[in-house]
Amino acid sequence: MNQQREAAKTGPHHDPGDRRVIESEDLFKGRSEIVIRHQGADYRMKITRQGKLILNK
């Protein structure tokens, strides 16, 4: 029964072990802001002074 609940949370085809992990240092390469283009729209991702990430359209 617990497996059914977990499958409902993540979807039938989602395998948590199948995630791609990218280190933020590899994305930012010393910068504090990058642009991610998704479906033709640009999104800005910034590292705050507190070291958190913020994503804005």
Q: Is 24 left (phi over 0), alpha (psi -120 to 50) or beta?
A: alpha
pLDDT for 18 equals 85
Q: For residue 3, what pLDDT is reported?
A: 52
Report the pLDDT value the prediction gives residue 17, as an integer from 0 to 100.
78
Q: Which residue has the higher pLDDT, 1 or 40?
A: 40
Say whether 34 sits in a helix, a strand or coil.
strand
pLDDT in tens, 2-56: 555 554 555 556 566 789 999 999 999 999 999 999 999 999 999 999 999 999 9
Residue whose entry in the numeric block shows the structure tokens 């949370």: 9
Q: What's the pLDDT score for residue 13?
A: 61
Q: What does the alpha-carbon distance between residue 6 and residue 3 come to, in Å, rounded to a whole number?
A: 5
Residue linked to tokens 């991702």 = 45
Contact 43, 34 (CB under 8 A): no
Domains in the chain (CATH in brackets) are 22-57 (2.10.70.10)
